[in-house]
Structure 1
Amino acid sequence: MKLRTLGSSDLHLTPLGFGAWAAGGPWKFGWGAQDDDASVAAIHRALELGINWIDTAAIYGLGHSEEVVARALAEWKGDRPYVFTKCSMVWDATGNVDYAYTEKSIRAEVEASLRRLKTDVIDLYQMHWPDDDMAGTLEGWAAMAKLKDEGKVRYIGASNFNVEEMTEAGEIAELTSLQPPYSLLARDVEADALPYCEANQIGVINYSPMGSGLFTGAMTRERLAGLAADDWRKNNPNFQEPKLTTHLAIADRLREVGARHGQSAGATAIAWCRRQNAITACIVGARAAEQVDGFIGAMDYTLTPADITYIESGRQD
């Protein structure tokens, strides 16, 4: 297994990182109820199998995901992994979610994240979403740059930024990384963001490489119908017709290709993402330890050109 350097940093990442979105449990964009013990077991299994970084966010479960990550690391006996988190999404006492980019808000967020994560420094601090107003985005980015200068965070990165936003932010302070959605159902970044990052030595850690569960090989219409009412996927168009039939057909092809390599459909979906040289590593979530076993093969798994053609089009070129 070869480690890859994230952008121009000294962070050397395994090809997969553990994504702790679901560990937050119920909230506006949550995955439904989640058992903390199961989350800790999943994190530990990922670390046992060699994963060396965890990605979370303050907003996941309104702070709860960071607390679960802290608990998992306190109980972990091995080397400490890198820990990445995010800012700019905030909530009030009643759980209403909003966005904030002022220096005061960013500073309050980092202090809260440091406290919940029980650490003195965050390895990578990312702006979760840019503001609709570029001035707001840049104010928040400048605040993050100060936190780096002060040693509260080691590096700063952007999540869900486009090329224009990365360019303007980069004039204030260097971007170490971009975190975009990228999978067989979210390919927009191929056109410009990935080439831009590759040309400018910006690392890329993509989220939802398995299509938020659609491409694990375990998703069926029956399972979709049984999703919890507070699972964000319940009303997402990608999980409904007319798109659903197309996506499940892709999952079938991933399962076929994976079987030829002794791998799962999920690992194959991740390997499809990793074929892009601009992708430094993929963020992969798990709600139970056995789910980690299902995708860990993607750590060292290369698809052939024929595999890629079949996955994308169903053709046997």
Structure 2
Amino acid sequence: MSKNSKDTLKISGIDTSVLRIALGTWAIGGWQWGGPDDGNAIKTIHKAIDNGINLIDTAPIYGFGHSEEIVGQALKGKREKIVIATKAALNWTDDKEKIFRDARPERIRKEIEDSLRRLKTDYIDLYQIHWPDDKTSIEETAMELEKLRQEGKIKAVGVSNFSVEQMKSIQHFTQLSAIQPPYNLFEREIENDVLPYAKEHSLAVLCYGPLCRGLLSGKMIKDRVFQGDDLRKTDPKFSTSVFDNYLAATEELTQFAKDTHNKTLLALAVRWVLDQYQGNIPLWGARKPEQIEGIRDALGWSLSANDLKTIDEILAKHIKNPISPEFMAPPNR
């Protein structure tokens, strides 16, 4: 594993430095990813740890608690070496058919206790509000988070999918250490405001979807069929005529990565996220041990200014109107 200091990071409020690639566990929960596979999931977490990953990001909504339970099982005997990030403020109906935002203090209080139990721990390192809830004041939400921090149940506060204005508001009432937005070569909306704000305030940025739901994995093919509740069935990048444009871009990026750095598209995509800001932490989503392969290839090197310019030119050539990831947003309460 890389010893390069540029590939590690200290998140404010958390003592342990983390590798700047974290394990994302949405797929491990099974929901929207074709169902769970617990045996492989635990092996995947162990392989990630063996490859130097020491930050694991999860959430109650990932399998309605199942992802957290699997992480808790996998970390038995390893907890103190691992930084756990989880989330709060999404709720669901008893039949799990409807999901909605819910950042009320009583909901957060219930969620923290449920998460601690599932994760088999007495504290969470990074506790994040998953989506902003416009029916609850940010002050109420933030003050409950600050109480949890004072009680020692959480070490640091983060937010996910928040605007700059919402981040400014929460910082009136608690210290913000990290944010979690979507960010990858194809989805770059945060460069307009969220990323500059993170840089200005030295926030860690946990970047979800660095491979854009597999588009940047190097394994996506035109006639791929998505089964069951797979999220990509509703992602406009995969279901419309623009899919061909995205695939054409990945083909050229694959050749560029090989010719210039002898790297895979996957390594290029993750390195690109790392090189945009020293505080970026791409979330490496995996549900099988073999999907951990390639982590080392993204570390210990950098893209040059010329590389970044060429990448932008390839994107501009193939993708005239980039599609944002807004389709993933859950409804308000």
Q: Which amino acid aligns with 2:273?
A: C
Question: C-alpha distance in 1, partners of 2:183/2:33?
Answer: 19
Q: How has the CA–CA distance of structure 1 residues 157 and 11 changed in structure 2, closer, same or farther, with 3 Å as cutoff?
A: farther
Question: C-alpha distance in 2, partners of 1:77/1:161?
Answer: 32
Residue 106 of structure 1 is matched in structure 2 by: 108
**Displacement after TM superposition at 1:128 (Å):** 0.2
Q: How has the CA–CA distance of structure 1 residues 35 and 130 changed in structure 2, closer, same or farther, with 3 Å as cutoff?
A: same
Tell whether the 8 Å contact from 2:103 to 2:129 is kept in structure 1 after alignment.
no
**Displacement after TM superposition at 1:79 (Å):** 6.3
Question: C-alpha distance in 2, partners of 1:201/1:142?
Answer: 22
CA RMSD of aligned residues (A): 1.8
Tell whether the 8 Å contact from 2:57 to 2:86 is kept in structure 1 after alignment.
yes
Question: C-alpha distance in 1, partners of 2:207/2:166?
Answer: 17
Residue 45 of structure 1 is matched in structure 2 by: 47
Is 1:314 the counterpart of 2:319? The answer is no
**Displacement after TM superposition at 1:136 (Å):** 3.0
Q: Which amino acid aligns with 2:269?
A: A
Residue 169 of structure 2 is matched in structure 1 by: 168
Tell whether the 8 Å contact from 1:195 to 1:278 is kept in structure 2 after alignment.
no
Q: Which 10-residue stretch deviates more, 113-122 or 296-305? A: 296-305
The correspondence of residues 144-155 of structure 1 with structure 2, limited to 5 A, is 144-155=145-156
Q: Which amino acid aligns with 1:227?
A: F
Residue 94 of structure 1 is matched in structure 2 by: 95
Tell whether the 8 Å contact from 2:138 to 2:169 is kept in structure 1 after alignment.
no
Question: C-alpha distance in 1, partners of 2:295/2:52?
Answer: 13
Tell whether the 8 Å contact from 1:254 to 1:266 is kept in structure 2 after alignment.
no
Q: Which amino acid aligns with 1:33?
A: G
The correspondence of residues 1-317 of structure 1 with structure 2, limited to 5 A, is 1=3, 2=5, 3-7=8-12, 9-26=14-31, 30-74=32-76, 80-95=81-96, 96-133=98-135, 135-223=136-224, 226-260=225-259, 261-277=261-277, 279-314=279-314
Q: Which 10-residue stretch deviates more, 282-291 or 91-100? A: 91-100
**Displacement after TM superposition at 1:310 (Å):** 2.5
Question: C-alpha distance in 1, partners of 2:296/2:48?
Answer: 8
Cα deviation 1:256-296 (Å, max 9, x = unaligned): 23323232211110111111125331111012111110344
Question: C-alpha distance in 1, partners of 2:153/2:79?
Answer: 24
Tell whether the 8 Å contact from 1:41 to 1:289 is kept in structure 2 after alignment.
yes
Tell whether the 8 Å contact from 1:114 to 1:120 is kept in structure 2 after alignment.
yes
Cα deviation 1:207-265 (Å, max 9, x = unaligned): 11111110000011222xx2112101112102122331222122113312332323221
Structure 1: runs of 5 or more not aligned: none
Q: How has the CA–CA distance of structure 1 residues 302 and 31 changed in structure 2, closer, same or farther, with 3 Å as cutoff?
A: same
Q: How has the CA–CA distance of structure 1 residues 9 and 186 changed in structure 2, closer, same or farther, with 3 Å as cutoff?
A: same
Question: C-alpha distance in 1, partners of 2:127/2:27?
Answer: 19
Identity of aligned residues (%): 37
Q: How has the CA–CA distance of structure 1 residues 299 and 246 changed in structure 2, closer, same or farther, with 3 Å as cutoff?
A: same
Structure 2: runs of 5 or more not aligned: 316-333
Tell whether the 8 Å contact from 1:126 to 1:157 is kept in structure 2 after alignment.
yes
Q: How has the CA–CA distance of structure 1 residues 155 and 84 changed in structure 2, closer, same or farther, with 3 Å as cutoff?
A: same
Q: Which TM-score applies when normalising by structure 1? A: 0.92
Q: Which TM-score applies when normalising by structure 2? A: 0.87
